[in-house]
Amino acid sequence: MNLRTTFLAAAIGTLSVPAMAADLTVKITNLTQGIAFTPLLVAGHNADTTLFSVGEAASANLQAMAEGGSIAGLSGDVSGAGGVVGENPAGGLLMAGKSTMTDIDTGTNTQLSIVAMMLPTNDGFVALNNLTIPTTPGTYTYNLNAYDAGTEANDEIRGSGVPGESGFPVPPPLEGEVGTGGTGVDAVAEGFVHIHRGVLGDTSSDSGVSDIDSTVHRWLNPVARVTVTVK
């Protein structure tokens, strides 16, 4: 089913949960050299709920997150299905090489998912999808891949970040890193969620096909590391 979340720029929301809850500390590290993550959604949910399925079309709420960074839709759906959400633990963008942490009490929910848009990309996102939460206390580490929502052509040019429109958003912290004047990479929306193949980019800041700097913003998987401590 679809999931909804909130695009807040600050704190983490926590719902009350019954006894015998899974009490977690979740640390997320951006492993890239030049990619920023938009506000992260950390969600505890049941096994019947999923943020996305690889090889299938993205939901409207996943599209909103992957193209514009909005976690409002996904957060609301998780909460509506009895899940628990932690929103925006970094208090804004999680920049390259930085980490953020949050505590989340998942209640009787057995699955953990994490998502955030990757900037600058058209519809690229980092994700942990439906991890079964370990039941034994301890510390567990997971490496995360980049995914493409398949909802927008990867033209690699500036845009509004509104789902369905071409281009990617450029928040103020990235303004000096992203170029202008790109004519656009020849691409089409793939129509299904898949592992992201990366960006093309170029080395011109005011011309060429792309507004993405190939010397800064290219990446290889994994793009993030998540450390889950089960208390």
Whether the Cβ atoms of residue 65 and residue 52 lie closer than 8 Å to each other: no
The span from the CA of 85 to the CA of 39, in Å, is 13
Q: What is the pLDDT of residues 178-201, one digit of tens each?
A: 999 999 999 999 999 999 999 999
Q: What is the pLDDT of residues 63-87, one digit of tens each?
A: 999 999 999 999 999 999 999 999 9
Confidence of residue 42 (pLDDT cuts 50, 70, 90): very high
Helix, strand, coil: what percent of the chain each, to 5?
10, 30, 60
CA atoms within 13 A on the CB side of 163: 17
Q: What is the pLDDT of residues 11-36, one digit of tens each?
A: 333 333 333 458 999 999 999 999 99
Q: What is the pLDDT of residues 132-163, one digit of tens each?
A: 999 999 999 999 999 999 999 999 999 988 88
The span from the CA of 122 to the CA of 173, in Å, is 17
Identify the structural domains of the chain with CATH numbers, from first to last: 1-231 (2.60.40.2130)
Sequence-distant (6+) residues with CB within 8 A of 162 are: 67, 68
Return the H-helix or E-strand segment holding 111. Answer: strand 111-119
Structure letter (DSSP) for residue 65:
H
The span from the CA of 188 to the CA of 148, in Å, is 12
CA atoms within 13 A on the CB side of 39: 26
The span from the CA of 119 to the CA of 206, in Å, is 18
* Higher-confidence position of 167 and 21: 167
Confidence of residue 222 (pLDDT cuts 50, 70, 90): very high
Please state, rounded to an integer, the average pLDDT across all residues of the chain.
Answer: 91
Question: Which residues are 202's β-sheet partners?
Answer: 213
Return the H-helix or E-strand segment holding 75. Answer: helix 72-80
pLDDT of res. 55? 98
pLDDT of res. 22? 81
Whether the Cβ atoms of residue 126 and residue 116 lie closer than 8 Å to each other: yes
Q: What tokens does 218 get?
A: 């290219």
What's the sign of the alpha-carbon dihedral 104, 107, 113, 118?
negative
Q: What percent of the chain has pLDDT over 70?
A: 91
